[in-house]
Amino acid sequence: MDIRSIREYLGHDWTAVQERITSSLHSDIALLNSTNSSILSNSGKQMRPLLSLIMARACSGKGEPAADASIRYAAAAELLHNATLLHDDVADDSDQRRGVPTVMSLMGPSVSVLVGDYWLVKAMELILGQAESDHKVIKVFSKTLSDLAEGEMLQLQKAQSGDTDEKDYLRIIYNKTASLFEAACVSAAVSVSASAEYEQAAREYAVALGLAFQIKDDILDYSGTDSVGKPLGVDVLEQKITIPLLGAFRNAGSDEEARVRDLIRKIVDHPEYRDEIVSFVKSNGGLEYAVSQLDRYVSEAVGALAVLPDSTEKEMLVELAYFTARRVF
């Protein structure tokens, strides 16, 4: 089962999320509307609202059309995700995302930040409806915003010091990626008044899946193709020490680790070091180690679903976990 067939299966619920996203972004400012439309036309896989809708059904055990709260929370997850991308493009000075020019590259960093702020506020407005669950869910999403900011700052700090270890790396990718997966799935469970056991299962699944998702991205930065929508090796050029490089350090020994960390500290002035570092990762088993960690978190995600009742939606969540490991962009 692929992403398209899952969307088709969700039917009206998926359409309702798309309509809620579009309507929530509407403005009488023509420039803002056209910018929002451009972003929506290049919206990617939309994994977070997809997971949110499926998790709501899986936790309810009924397979019925989504409640209004489930639709709102799923749409909010996508708005918040795109808000963070607009901000990240400024922080990372990115000129492309998903293979097309970023808002920042076309209109400047100020516009990218302003549009990101707009999407963020609209996400919060979507969460605050009339349901009893809204107060709890706004706290879930607020925590995610705090996590995102802390993750970005920790990543910047570690890029400067060049001393990222595996504990640092896991915290960064939890904060920057897995936390929003967590918000999408936990809010979905809350939207259907799921039991504490089901809510915890949704949390554990989402965190493990989010970690796996980012690890896969970091593997693709060393071994993927240009279809990922960004040049290969961009992480090391930005002084980001990710799991393939950490895996290579484990195998290479302390002297080689110190030498390569020194190259990373100097890479801003010597971008030609990138090829040497990529070669170091590949020749010291870095990719193999990263794949082993990817498989571990995919297995943890699947295992977390054991307590949920058997359903088509549960099978889809399992399939999406394996899709994360298989994807090529």
Q: Please return the burial class of 160, using the count of CB atoms within 10 Å of its CB with bins 0-12, 13-18 and 19+.
A: exposed
Residue 1 has pLDDT above 90, yes or no: no
The angle at the Cα of 138, spanning 210 to 211, to the nearest 5 degrees, equals: 5
What percentage of the chain carries pLDDT values higher than 70?
A: 96
How confident is the model over 247-265, as pLDDT tens digits? 999 999 999 999 999 999 9
Residue-level pLDDT at 63: 66
pLDDT beyond 90 at 62 = no
Q: Are 66 and 57 in contact (CB under 8 A)?
A: yes
Residues 6+ apart with CB under 8 A from 243: 166, 169, 215, 218, 219, 286, 289, 290, 293
Residue 254, C-beta contacts closer than 8 angstroms, at least 6 positions apart: none
**For the segment 302-320, what is each residue's pLDDT rounded down to a tens digit?**
999 999 999 999 999 999 9
All structural domains of the chain with their residue ranges: 3-326
- Are 236 and 278 a contacting pair, CB within 8 Å? yes
Strand partners, 97: 100
Q: What is the pLDDT of residue 2?
A: 82
Q: If you average pLDDT over residues 46-60, what whole number do you get?
A: 96
When pLDDT is averaged across residues 86-98 and rounded to a whole number, the result is: 86
- Which structure tokens are listed for 133? 């669950």
Question: Hey, what are 207's tokens?
Answer: 């965190």
289 vs 226, more confident: 289
Alpha carbon distances (Å) from 208 to 45, 90, 182, 303 = 19, 28, 9, 10
Domain with residues 3-326, CATH architecture: Orthogonal Bundle (1.10)
CA angle 131, 134, 138 (to 5 degrees): 170
pLDDT in tens, 133-175: 999 999 999 999 999 999 999 999 999 899 999 999 999 999 9
Q: Where are the extended beta strands (E) located within 51-175?
A: 96-97, 100-101
Judged on CB neighbours under 10 Å (0-12, 13-18, 19+), 311 is middle
Q: Which two tokens stand for residue 278?
A: 């990529």
Rounded CA separation 112/88 (Å): 9
State the average pLDDT over residues 103-119.
95
pLDDT of residue 227: 47
